[in-house]
Amino acid sequence: MRNANMKHIVFLGVCLMLAFLTGPVWAQEDWQRVERQIDEERERAEKDAALTERLITMDRAAMQKEVARLKSAEKSKDNERNLLIKKYNELIQLEEKLKAELVEEEAEVVEVEGQLRTAAKEAESMIRENQITAEVPERIQMIADLRDPDKVPGLGGIQSLIDVYFDELRRSGQTTLRTGDFVGLDGRMTTGQIIRAGAFTTYFRMPDGQVGFLDVEEDGDRLQAVTGEVESKDRSAVSDYFDNKSDVLPIDMGRGAAFASMTQKDDLLDKFEAGGVLMWPILIVACLAILIMLERFILLYSTKANTDTITDRISKLAESGNWKQAKIACDEKDRVPTCRMLASAVGNVGATQEVLENTLQEAILRETPRLERFLPTLGVLGTIAPLLGLLGTVTGMINTFKVITAQGAGDPSAMAGGISEALLTTQFGLTVAIPIMLIHHLLSRRVDKIVGDMEEKGTAFAVTMIKSGAVVPSEAESV
């Protein structure tokens, strides 16, 4: 609008300039006409200017009002933005706090999950290794989900685990009598009466009266008969319990281990093979020791250790001076060491006392090695046997630790060989060594007794020869 008014003013100015320049040419009436047009244009311009001013005033007011509204809206938006920023910051802080709590809760969940899986594993091992599960096989499925690593244990799984433990607790205090199936001694399924006493002992009775013990198979869902016969007193007690004639039932707290060990026949050859290579050296030591002991027993216990009767006869002959008969009497008993010693003394008639004593001492020293022959060897064998057993123990334990290093300690059967070798060689070595040491002691005491008898009889015979004058006494004796 302002531009249009400016155009009118410019147009009027141009017209006045033209009129001034062409005044002589135009007529008076044209001037008046021009003047009227100018006045009209001026009035129109003034109206337009007034209208423009009014419009501008209206526009300014509207704009000021709009500016005020926008400023108010801006301020409101700023306040709202500040509130949102504050709320956003609070939400960020809350998020960080919740994340920290979530991490803690996740750690607790993982720990609880691990404990649950461990408890489930123990529960599964428990129910697979007792005889209740063979009666109630569905218990295994109650905790199957807890062992699944791809599933998170829920409250239902936890409740199932609790139910299994309480069911085990309840049934462990019960005794049940039923007719059921089990794997018989021949390996085939058999039907008979079954008594379960808690989770430890289960007996069966066949229609023919046969009574035996039942154990759980490896998979835990079937019962099988244990090889062996129940002792007569226990068989009678079990039969009476089946017939409700007695309230006494033998219980095996080892879940069949005691029964199996009681009925198992120990095979000496199997034990010897399980002991390993070192059982052979111990066996050789035992055989050598037996041969030596037999030879020494025959020799030493066939030799008289008390020769009072024989020596009294020889002494009487010596006192009467009948040395020839004394020599014959000694030769008749030449198997007796004391008589051989006295024979050497009789051969020194007329010698001095020193010669006689030396002769007797030499005779004793000559007889002693014959009596003690092989006894040191027997003592060495008695010492070697337990040392070989100890060597077998060390070897077996080394093999056991090798198995543990390679396979871990979770498989007891893998370590059984090394442990058997360790224990059986020690047992065999001690079994061989103890009798050897005892018999070595007995034989040594026998030798000491024979040697003591020889010394006693030799001293007494020397005195007899001195008194009879058959031996010249020493100078000290003469004085």
At residue 211, φ and ψ (nearest 5 deg) are -120, 140
- Does 129 reside within a domain? no
Q: What pLDDT does residue 66 have?
A: 86
Distance CA 256, CA 103 (A): 49
- Does 15 reside within a domain? yes
Distance CA 308, CA 117 (A): 87
Same domain, 447 and 319: yes
At residue 452, φ and ψ (nearest 5 deg) are -60, -40
Q: What pLDDT does residue 28 have?
A: 63
Please give the residue range of the domain that contains residue 28: 2-110
C-alpha distances out from residue 380 to 92, 193, 289, 374, Å: 87, 60, 10, 10
C-alpha distances out from residue 410 to 257, 406, 407, 415, Å: 20, 11, 8, 10
What is the amino acid identity at position 244?
N
Q: What pLDDT does residue 285 have?
A: 94
If one compares 82 and 247, the residue with the highest pLDDT of the two is 82
Q: Does 181 have pLDDT greater than 70?
A: yes
296 conformational bin, left if phi > 0, alpha if psi -120 to 50, beta if neither: alpha
Which among 263, 287, 304 is the end of a domain?
263
Same domain, 376 and 308: yes
Q: What is the DSSP string of 383-409?
A: HHHHHHHHHHHHHHHHHHHHHHHHH-S
Instruction: Compute, in degrees rounded to 10, the torsion defined by CA atoms 20, 21, 27, 32.
Output: -30
Q: Does 238 have pLDDT greater than 60?
A: yes
217: its two tokens:
């198979």
- Does 119 reside within a domain? no
Same domain, 348 and 473: yes
At residue 269, φ and ψ (nearest 5 deg) are -65, -40
Same domain, 106 and 149: no
Q: What pLDDT does residue 478 have?
A: 41
Same domain, 402 and 363: yes
Which among 68, 90, 110 is the end of a domain?
110
Q: What pLDDT does residue 22 have?
A: 54
Same domain, 327 and 468: yes
Same domain, 284 and 251: no
Q: What is the DSSP letter of 145?
A: G
Distance CA 443, CA 296 (A): 7
188 exposed, middle or buried (CB, 10 Å; 0-12, 13-18, 19+)?
exposed
Tally of domains in the chain: 3
Distance CA 268, CA 352 (A): 65
Residue 249's nearest CA partner among 194, 318, 191 is: 194
Q: What is the DSSP letter of 221?
A: S
**147 and 120 in contact (C-beta within 8 Å)?**
yes
What is the amino acid identity at position 431?
T
Cα 228 off chain centre by: 30
Q: How far apart are the first and last CA of the chain?
A: 183
Instruction: Compute, in degrees rounded to 10, the torsion defined by CA atoms 466, 468, 471, 473.
Output: 40
pLDDT in tens, 383-392: 999 999 888 8
Same domain, 106 and 173: no
Same domain, 298 and 437: yes
Same domain, 240 and 288: no
- Does 66 reside within a domain? yes
Same domain, 41 and 68: yes
What contacts 250, CB < 8 A, 6 or more positions away?
201, 234, 237, 238
pLDDT in tens, 26-60: 456 667 777 788 888 888 888 888 888 888 888 88
pTM for the predicted model, two decimal places: 0.49
> pLDDT-based confidence at 18, cuts 50/70/90?
low
Sequence-separated contacts (24+) of 11-19 with Cβ below 8 Å = 11/41, 12/38, 12/41, 12/42, 12/45
- Does 134 reside within a domain? no
Q: Does 335 have pLDDT greater than 50?
A: yes
- Does 181 reside within a domain? yes
Q: Does 286 have pLDDT greater than 90?
A: yes
What contacts 462, CB < 8 A, 6 or more positions away?
345, 353, 356, 357, 360, 471
- Does 116 reside within a domain? no
pLDDT in tens, 122-176: 777 777 767 777 777 777 777 766 666 666 666 777 777 788 788 878 887 778 8
Q: What pLDDT does residue 477 have?
A: 44
Instruction: Using a pLDDT cut of 90, give the percent of the chain over it.
Output: 12
Distance CA 464, CA 438 (A): 39
At residue 249, φ and ψ (nearest 5 deg) are -135, 120
- Does 123 reside within a domain? no
Distance CA 62, CA 66 (A): 6
363: its two tokens:
């005779």
Dihedral sign for Cα 26, 30, 36, 38, please: negative
Average pLDDT value for residue range 432-442: 94
Same domain, 169 and 63: no
Mean pLDDT of the chain: 77
Q: Does 449 have pLDDT greater than 50?
A: yes
Average pLDDT value for residue range 8-18: 61
What contacts 283, CB < 8 A, 6 or more positions away?
272, 428
